[in-house]
Structure 1
Amino acid sequence: MSVPQPEDGTPILELRGVDKSFGANQVLHGVDLKVYPGKVTALVGDNGAGKSTLIKSIAGIHPIDGGQVLFDGNPVDISGPRDSARLGIEVVYQDLALADNLDVVQNMFLGRERKNGLLLDEISMEQAARDTLAKLSVRTLKSVRQLVSSLSGGQRQTVAIAKAVLWESKVVILDEPTAALGVAQTRQVLDLVRRLADTGHAVVFISHNMVDVFEVADRVAALYLGRMAADIPISQVNRSQVIELITAGRSGDIGIAPAQAAAVEV
């Protein structure tokens, strides 16, 4: 597994001191995060740590209240989902948002259909879908014209990820992609996540499963009660340390300063 070092250069996506509140409830507190092209960053944290809010802020669903977002080294304003998509950020949410009554091609182009005059350009869309799946070395689908209702959980994840890649994305955020999958299907999805990074994409991999995290991630970013406890190469921590970062915000000399962690817990 490759380990990001300073020579990796500029992060494709960087958050600096990001705050987000809902009314009187501050959910994110000065969050810093760096996401590099060609790397998988595992975003971990307990329920209520702020993972969903952070991802939705990156996606433009929840505009941030403070701090700064940089894309490819340049400050950007993400005030809505279109801004995020225009930059090349795609999110694959846990519910996948696939239409069971449509086939693979139709799902991959849903809402962004290509037309040839007044008619849909089915040939062009089918070829683009095939090319995208081939680029990701996907061999688990019998046909791009299969109805999504006939696919397994792992195959559905594959279609959702391929859909995100199709739109020339640079950052792909995956929300619990292996949740509720069996062993074989989890293996397929983890292999696909790795290939996604190997094709140059920056991948944010949200997971509660430490086995999956250490299997596929290059970096780990641990959120603790809305604060970033650590954002470091995964080679610098072990599984027990990551669990401590998730549950206590600190492990040894890594994480939130003791005084700050105590204040957060109060």
Structure 2
Amino acid sequence: MKTALITGASSGIGKATAKIFAEEGFNLILCGRRKEKLEELKQELDDKSNIHLLTFDIRNKEEVFSSIEGLPSDLANIDILINNAGNAHGLDPIQDGNVEDWDAMMDINVKGLLYVSKAIIPKMIARASGHIINIGSTAGKEVYPNGNVYCASKHAVDAITQGMRIDLNGKGIRVGAINPGMVETEFSEVRFKGDKEKAQKVYEGFKPLQPEDVADIIRFVVTRPSHINIADLMVMCTAQASSTIVDKE
């Protein structure tokens, strides 16, 4: 039975992936900051899967390393890593950008991904087996107005994924990225600092991707035969043609 670790599992794509992985019978290590949300998810999935919760701030490397090093022996060998945790903070032109927002995006989207990967990759190398999926974004493929630092963080994820794949070539480890367009999650609510009305307008007038859509793609990717590595996949809803071109009613 495979063991999968998912960051950002308390909501959105991470939560949906946990549910779909539970259907596959995977052991699950679910990570996030919101303990109560993780516990609710664990209760929901307990009858389908062996679930272990890790509550830490992905920006804190000491917490990341100690939490992963402290996993019980039956879950210590992680077969699948889903680097999903990430956020957008603010939507401002570069000259008006908030430095705290910049720090949050770079610390979570880039450094946090690196910390978790660093904690897990050595054991994958030792076993000559593993699969790493980094959740990027269409923002890692193009830059849009006022997206400056968020786009930069996702471009970094794209570069890190490519670098991982090169450096781990020959180690028996598959590395790939899934880059969604607009997905209806808490993403916009976080970006707009809790303004639910403003966030909701982002998804009005068209059918955006749902977290379950992306989770289903992740399941497809990780269940391919071991000689197949889906290296880079971009997915948008039908109404979206680019970050700024969306067919709305």
TM-score, structure 2 as length reference: 0.33
Q: Which has the higher strand share?
A: 1
TM-score, structure 1 as length reference: 0.31
Rg larger in structure: 1
**Higher relative contact order, chain-length normalized (CA < 8 Å, sep 6+):** 1
Q: Which has the higher helix share?
A: 2
